[in-house]
Amino acid sequence: MITVDFNRLAIQPGYRILDIGCGSGRHTCAALQCKNVLAVGVDINFDDVIEADNRIEYHAKFGNHGGGTGVISVADTLDLPFKDNFFDFVICSEVLEHIHDHRTAVSEIIRVLKPGRNLMVSVPRYLPERICWTFSKDYRNTANGHIRIYKQKELTELLETTGATLWGKHYAHSLHTPYWWLKCLLGPAREDLRLVNLYHRFLVWDMMKHPWITRLLENLLNPLLGKSLVLYLRKA
């Protein structure tokens, strides 16, 4: 599930790309599709870092990359182990809603980005996320789960006060929204729900196969049901 629209970005050979909160490495590997870049993925969860590293190796084995280098490491978003103005593009996808001290996190994101370069920040969109919170207390009380819901204006102001300027936005993953509504309504921890399990299988199939019909449907529904708010900004 790739949230970044790389077609909006002029990624050049030699760029250093940072994927903050990389999880299993989906965006790190997507960045490695660009020609001759250095893609660095960091996450605070050691198990996720191992999975992301394995994913990079898998992609490299089958030549599914642009000839660059991928590096994965454990790191805390609140104290990134990189020099100021080091990266040409920073990805922070579905991370800030987990962090109590989000102002420090945003300051670190901006600090490591070169002036004049772009960053992408995505968070759960307000209305779909609010419905999930309404349907299930367990959903919002999960350990290391979502601790806040952002409105677009609030998130934009948070990012712009640190020296970035918004230049683009879109919504993403509308086909995932009904799945999470169902899951929250029927029990987010339950694994015996046939309808939810079938929907999950459909989403996995869609992510693997990318059929044109679901791509078209998702693009049509994203403005209304998109689960993620995706912002593109440029550092001053």
Residues present in the chain in total: 236
pTM (2 d.p.): 0.95
**Which pLDDT value is given to residue 31?**
97
3-state secondary structure of 184: helix
Mean pLDDT by 10 residues, the chain (236 residues): 94 97 96 96 96 92 87 96 98 97 97 98 98 93 90 97 96 98 93 94 94 96 98 97
The Cβ-side half-sphere exposure at 139, using a 13 Å CA radius, reads 20
DSSP 14: T
pLDDT at 23: 95
Q: Which amino acid is at 77?
A: T
Task: Check: CB of residue 32 under 8 Å from CB of residue 58.
Answer: no
Amino acid of residue 200: H
Report the candidate in 30, 27, 59 with the shortest Cα–Cα distance to residue 43: 27
